[in-house]
Structure 1
Amino acid sequence: MEIHMEEINFGTQHSRSFFLEKSEHLIAVRSQAGMDLTALLQCEKACVALRGSHLLAHVEDADVQVFKLPTESDLPRCKALLRELPQVRFAGRVLVDPETQEPVLYTENIFLKFIDPLTPTQCLVILKTLGLTIKQQVPYATNAFFVQHLDCRGTAVCSFTLALLEREDIEYCHPEILRLGQRRAIHDNQWHLKKTTVTYQVHVDASANVEAAHELTQGEGIVIAVIDDAFDIDHPEFSGVGKIVGAQNFDRRNAKQGPRPKNAAERHGTAAAGVACANGQTGASGVAPRASLMPLKLTKPLGARAEADAFFWAADQGADIISCSWGPTEGHWADPTDPRHTQVFPLAASTRLAIDYAATQGRKGKGCLIFFGAGNGNECVDNDGYSSHPRVIAVGACNDQNRRSAYSDYGKALWCCFPSGDQPHPDPKFRPATSIPQTRGIRTTDLSGKFANPEQAAYTESFSGTSSACPGAAGVAALVLAANPALDREAVRQILADGCDKIGHADDGPLGQYDQDGHSHYYGYGRLNALQAVHLALERKER
C-alpha cells in the first residue's frame, strides 16, 4: 500500500523539513464555530459514517474530534457523508507522525512572516495579491501574520505553504499544526530519576540522572515491550494516542480479555511498565515517558511455547526494546545455605532461539535491546540461562546509598545496575554491609479501577528488586535510541556501559571492585547514567 506523506517546513527556505503521513484509518471532523460537535455527531447520517469507530482525541477549543475507523471502513464515503451535514465545517484525512502514529491536526490557518526590510504597506499589498486574508497580525515578530486562503482546504495547505516559502520576500510559512500536549513531570519523591528530598527531609543523591536527560530526549518514537503477568492499560499514565501498541495476551484461555489483569494479584506488570514509560501526567513518570508501551501478558511456566512466541511477537510487531522482570526460582537472598543458590537453570532452545531472533532481526536488522532483571537471590547470575544469555542485558539493583542492593544477583554476565529499593541485613559480615534504607522503594504505577488499592490510589511507593531495575534500564535505552535511532543493538549496549557511574564502597570486598575492563561482579559496568548515555549517543550521531 502506498503511503502518502505531506512535507512541512517550520524553518526558513533552506531548513530541513519534516514529513507527516496521511492516515488511512483516521478521520477528523470539525464543526462550524459555536456548534456542539458532540451533539452534532449524534444524528443518523453521522452515526452511519462513524459506525464502529472510536474517539481518539477531542480538541474542544478547535471544535475538532479525531476518530479511528474500522479497518474495513470506506474513508472517502465516510468523508462524503459527514460533509453533507451543514453544521460540519471540515471532514477529512488526518496526518499522523510516521514514527508514533499520533494524530497531528492542521487548520486552515497559515503562519507567514515576511522578511524584516519590507514595510507594513508592502506586506499588505503582497497578501492581497496572494489572495490571503489576515486573521491576526502577531505582536511577537516583525511582518508576521496568521492568514487564510479561502480556496485552500485540507492537506493542500501543506504544499501551498511550501510554495510560498520559495519566495525571496517570505522568511517563514507553514500551516498551523496542532499536537496534543501532555504534562510529563518527574514527581518529587522519584529519587531514582533525580537528586531529591524524601520523607523526613532525607536527601538522596543516588539517581540514574534521568531528569537531566529529559532535556534532550524522553523516548519519543521508541516502543518498549514489557513481558509480564498483566497490565492495567486503562491507567491514566498509559493513556494517549499511540501509547499502547501491539498489546497481546499469550494466555490463550483468557486471550479475549487482552493484557489486562483478571484479579488484584496480577499487578507486577503494571508497576514494571510504569517504571519504563509511565506518562508522568498525574502521579509517576517513567524513565522514558514519551515511549510507547507494548504490553505482552505471559503467565505460562518458564520454557513454555508461549514464552518464545512472546519474544517473536515483540520483534515482529515493531518493539525496539524488550523488558523482562522475571526468571527462574531463586534462593532466599539472606540465607547463604539455601541450595537454590547454586542451581543452574538452562534456557529452553525454543526461548533461546526466539531471543536470538529478536536480538538480531528486530528493528529491521538493527536488533532489539533485551533486558532481564539479574535476579533477587543474592546469587550468581551466571547460573540463570535467561539473564546470562549473551544477547541479553542483565540488570542488577543498587540502592539509595550508591551501593549494591543486598538481594541483587552478581557475576560475569551482569551488565549494569539501576536504582531500586533495598533490604537491611542484621549480620555485619554480610556483603555488602547495608544500613537501613532511606526510601521504601520506587514510586510507580499500580492497579487502578476496580482493582485499585484505596490507600495507594493507583500508585505504589514500594516497587523494588531487579524487577524495578530492569524496566528502568530499558527506559534509559529508549532515551538513547530516541536520541540516535540509527544505533544498532551492540552500539547501544556499549553506550550504556560506557556511560555508567562507578559506584560502590571499599568494604564491598573483591566482587565489588572494578577490573581493568571496568567491570565489577557486583555492579557490572556501574550504575546507569542516562544523561551521559544520551550524550554518547548524540556524539555518534554527529560523526
Structure 2
Amino acid sequence: MVEVNFGTQRGRPFVLEKNRQLLAVRSHAGKNLTHTLCCESALSALEGCELLLHVEDADVQVFKLPLNADPSQRKAMLRKLPDVRFAGSVLMDPRTQEPVLYTENIFLKFTDSLKATQCLAILDELGLMIKQQVPYAANAFFVHHPDVQGIDICALTCDWLKRDEIEYCHPEMLRQGQRRAIHANQWHLKKTTVTYQVEIDASANVEAAHELAQGAGIVIAVIDDAFDIDHPEFAGEGKVVGAQNFDRRNAKQGPRPKNAFERHGTAAAGVACANGQDGASGVAPQASLMPLKLTKPLGSRAEADAFFWAADQGADIISCSWGPAEGHWADPSDPRHTQVFPLAASTRLAIEYAATKGRNGKGCVIFFGAGNGNECVDNDGYSSHPQVIAVGASNDQNRRSAYSDYGKALWCCFPSGDLQHPDPKFKPATLIPQTRGIRTTDLSGSFAAQTLPAYTDSFSGTSSACPGAAGIAALVLGVKPGLDREAVRQVLADCCDKIGHADDGPLGRYDENGHSHYYGHGRLNALRAVQMALADRSDTD
C-alpha cells in the first residue's frame, strides 16, 4: 500500500496499490519516447505488452505485461536503454483498478504565517529545488528532489506533511479524465419543431432572453481539449481573447487541435458563445471566448495553472466539461459509482483563487458538468467543490437525462440530449423518442469532411449542459456586471423552472429550499435570470 494525502495533516490519506502487471516507462526530458521504445532492445522488453496509457507531456507510457512475464526482468531490460529515465511499477486505485501516475513534481504549501526567507530555508533543508512558485496561493511551490525517484516520493511527502510549517504536500498525481459528452438542435434555446415533426417545449428560454441581453462585454473561459478558433462562429474583433495552450510540448501551436479527435472543446465553446452567424448560436453569442487548451491528466500542475490564467487574464466565467472517470450510467453494479475522487491541493487552491480573486475580487463564476455516470456528484471533488456550480442535464421531456449525475452538490440543470434507459420503469413507455442532442460548432478547415463551416447535431451529456449554463451566467453579467459570484449563483438558483415527473421518486422532489437531488434548483430559465438581474438594486452597474 502507498499513501498520498491531498489534504492537510488532518485529511484522509488516499491509498494506492502497486500493480505488478502494469509497467510505467519514462524517458529523459526532451527524448522521444516513441522512438526509444521502437528499438530492438525495447521491443524485446515489451514483447506481448499492451499500451494502456500515453501521457505525452510527461514522457510516460503505461504498459500491461503478459500474464507469464517477469516484471523485474522487463524493468531491468528497459532501464539499460540510454533514453529511459525510469521503468517501474504503476500505482493503482484499488476501488476502480485505474492507473495513477506520479511525476517528480511535488506540490508543497507552507502556512501563510511563514516569511519567504523561512520557506526557502526549509526547502533547502529538505533538499528541494523550486520548479514554480505558484501565483494562486501564498507560500506555495511545485518542487522536486533531484535524488528521489519512484514511489519513495510518496512516503517522503507524507513525512514532510507532519511538519507544523507545512499545510499541503503531495506528489503530482495524474489520472485520466473524462470529457462530459454522451452522444443529439437548437431546441435547447427555444420551443422547436424537430426533424420528425414533433414540437419540443423543454428549452432554457434563451431566445426570449436575447431580446434583453446577449453577453456583450463578458469573457467565458472554456478549459477543454482544443478549439477551432478559425471557425466562422468565433470570428470577429475581440471574439477570441487570452487563448493559451497548457500542453508544454505543443504550446506554440496555441489552442487549435492537432488532430481530428480533439473536437470536444470546439463543441462546448459553441454551446456557450458561438456567434450564430451561419449554423448555430451560442447561449451568449456576443460574449468573448477565452479558449484554454488542457489535455494533461487530472491533477497536473497545468490544470491549476489554467484556472489561475483564466482569472488573471480577465475571464468572468470558467466552464469545464470534464472530470473524473465515472461508472456506466446504465449499470448500477459498476464499482466506479461509489468512487470518491479528491482534488489535488494545487487545483483546489487555484479554483479558490479564481472564485475569490477573479473579476477584481467579485470572483469568477465557475461551472463544471456534473457528470454522466447516473451517480452521486458529491463524490466528485471537482463538481462538488463549494465554489463551483455543478450542472446536470435535462431532456426534451422536462426530466433528468438518464445519465445525469445527482446529489446535494447539483445546483441546476440545462437542456441536453438523452439516452433510453434499459429499465422500462425509468420512463413511461408512451413517451416519444428523445431528440438527438444539441446543435453546435464542430471542426472546420483541414479537419472537416467538407470546406463549409462545420456543425454537429450530436453534442450531448453534461458536456453540453455545462457551457449552456455558463452562457446564461454571461447573459446575467452582461446586464449586471457588478454582481459578485455569489449573487450570480443565487440568480441561477432563483430563475429555475421546477421540472420533474411524478415517478422520479424521493430524489426528484424539491425540499423546503427548492432543491432536488435530481434537478438541483431546476432547469435554468434564461429570460427569468436576465429579468432578475435587471431588477437587482444591489449595485450601481
The TM-score by the shorter chain falls in which range?
Answer: 0.5 to 0.7
Partner of 2:531: 535
SS at match of 1:416: strand
Q: C-alpha separation between the residues in 2 aligned to 1:355 and 1:436? A: 41
SS at match of 2:536: helix
Q: C-alpha separation between the residues in 2 aligned to 1:373 and 1:471? A: 8
Amino acid at match of 2:216: E
Amino acid at match of 1:445: T
What is the TM-score with the length of structure 1 in the denominator? 0.64
Which of 471, 475, 478 matches 2:471? 475
Change (3 A) 1:391 1:236: same
Q: Per-residue displacement from partner, 1:398-457 (whole Å, max 9, x unpaired)?
A: 001100000000000000000000001231233798945331100000000011134995
SS at match of 2:196: helix
Q: C-alpha separation between the residues in 2 aligned to 1:219 and 1:347? A: 31
SS at match of 2:413: strand
Partner of 1:30: none
Q: Does 1:240 align with 2:221?
A: no
Which of 315, 322, 326 matches 2:322? 326
Which of 360, 363, 368 matches 2:364? 368
Which of 484, 488, 493 matches 1:488? 484
Tell whether the 8 Å contact from 1:395 to 1:418 is kept in structure 2 after alignment.
yes
- How far residue 196 of structure 1 moved from its aligned partner, in angstroms, is 1.0
Amino acid at match of 2:201: D
Partner of 1:251: 247
Amino acid at match of 2:210: H
Q: Per-residue displacement from partner, 1:29-48 (whole Å, max 9, x unpaired)?
A: xxxxxxxxxxxxxxxxxxxx
Q: Does 1:216 align with 2:212?
A: yes
Alignment of 1:29-178 (within 5 A): none
Partner of 2:417: 421
Identity of aligned residues (%): 86
Tell whether the 8 Å contact from 1:424 to 1:436 is kept in structure 2 after alignment.
no
Q: C-alpha separation between the residues in 1 aligned to 2:452 and 2:435? A: 16
Q: C-alpha separation between the residues in 2 aligned to 1:316 and 1:250? A: 15
Which of 383, 389, 392 matches 1:387? 383
Amino acid at match of 1:525: H
Coordinate RMSD, CA, aligned: 1.5
Tell whether the 8 Å contact from 2:419 to 2:434 is kept in structure 1 after alignment.
no
Q: Per-residue displacement from partner, 1:302-328 (whole Å, max 9, x unpaired)?
A: 000000000000000000000000000
Change (3 A) 1:492 1:434: farther
Q: Does 1:310 align with 2:311?
A: no
Amino acid at match of 1:292: S
Amino acid at match of 1:505: H
Which of 257, 262, 265 matches 2:258? 262
Q: C-alpha separation between the residues in 2 aligned to 1:432 and 1:418? A: 22
What is the TM-score with the length of structure 2 in the denominator? 0.64
Q: C-alpha separation between the residues in 2 aligned to 1:468 and 1:355? A: 21
Which of 338, 345, 359 matches 1:342? 338
Q: C-alpha separation between the residues in 1 aligned to 2:428 and 2:357? A: 40
Q: Per-residue displacement from partner, 1:362-412 (whole Å, max 9, x unpaired)?
A: 000000000000000000000000000000000000001100000000000
Give the structure, 1 or 2, with the largest relative contact order (CA under 8 Å, sep 6 or more): 2
Tell whether the 8 Å contact from 1:406 to 1:434 is kept in structure 2 after alignment.
no
Q: C-alpha separation between the residues in 1 aligned to 2:508 and 2:456? A: 31
Q: C-alpha separation between the residues in 1 aligned to 2:351 and 2:463? A: 19
Q: Does 1:462 align with 2:458?
A: yes
Q: Per-residue displacement from partner, 1:62-96 (whole Å, max 9, x unpaired)?
A: xxxxxxxxxxxxxxxxxxxxxxxxxxxxxxxxxxx
Partner of 1:438: 434
Q: C-alpha separation between the residues in 2 aligned to 1:240 and 1:479? A: 19
Partner of 1:408: 404
Amino acid at match of 1:241: E
**Structure 2: 5+ residue stretches without partners:** 1-184
Q: Per-residue displacement from partner, 1:454-481 (whole Å, max 9, x unpaired)?
A: 4995100010000000000000000000
Q: Per-residue displacement from partner, 1:322-373 (whole Å, max 9, x unpaired)?
A: 0000000000000000000000000010000000000000000000000000
Q: Does 1:511 align with 2:496?
A: no
Greater CA radius of gyration, 1 or 2? 1
Partner of 2:189: 193
Amino acid at match of 1:339: P
- How far residue 539 of structure 1 moved from its aligned partner, in angstroms, is 0.5
Amino acid at match of 2:378: D
- How far residue 269 of structure 1 moved from its aligned partner, in angstroms, is 0.1
Q: C-alpha separation between the residues in 2 aligned to 1:435 and 1:230? A: 37
Q: Per-residue displacement from partner, 1:85-117 (whole Å, max 9, x unpaired)?
A: xxxxxxxxxxxxxxxxxxxxxxxxxxxxxxxxx
Q: C-alpha separation between the residues in 2 aligned to 1:211 and 1:197? A: 15
Q: C-alpha separation between the residues in 2 aligned to 1:342 and 1:456? A: 45
Q: Does 1:230 align with 2:246?
A: no
> 423-432 or 375-384, which moves further after superposition?
423-432
Amino acid at match of 2:456: T
Change (3 A) 1:431 1:303: farther
Extract structure 1 runs of 4+ deviating beyond 4 A.
Answer: 431-436
**Structure 1: 5+ residue stretches without partners:** 1-188
Q: C-alpha separation between the residues in 2 aligned to 1:375 and 1:433? A: 26
Amino acid at match of 2:188: H
- How far residue 278 of structure 1 moved from its aligned partner, in angstroms, is 0.1
Q: What is the total number of aligned residue pairs between the two structures?
A: 355
Q: C-alpha separation between the residues in 1 aligned to 2:342 and 2:268? A: 25
Partner of 2:498: 502
Tell whether the 8 Å contact from 1:400 to 1:437 is kept in structure 2 after alignment.
no
Partner of 2:65: none
Q: C-alpha separation between the residues in 1 aligned to 2:223 and 2:272? A: 12
Which of 448, 466, 480 matches 1:452? 448
Partner of 1:162: none
- How far residue 264 of structure 1 moved from its aligned partner, in angstroms, is 0.2
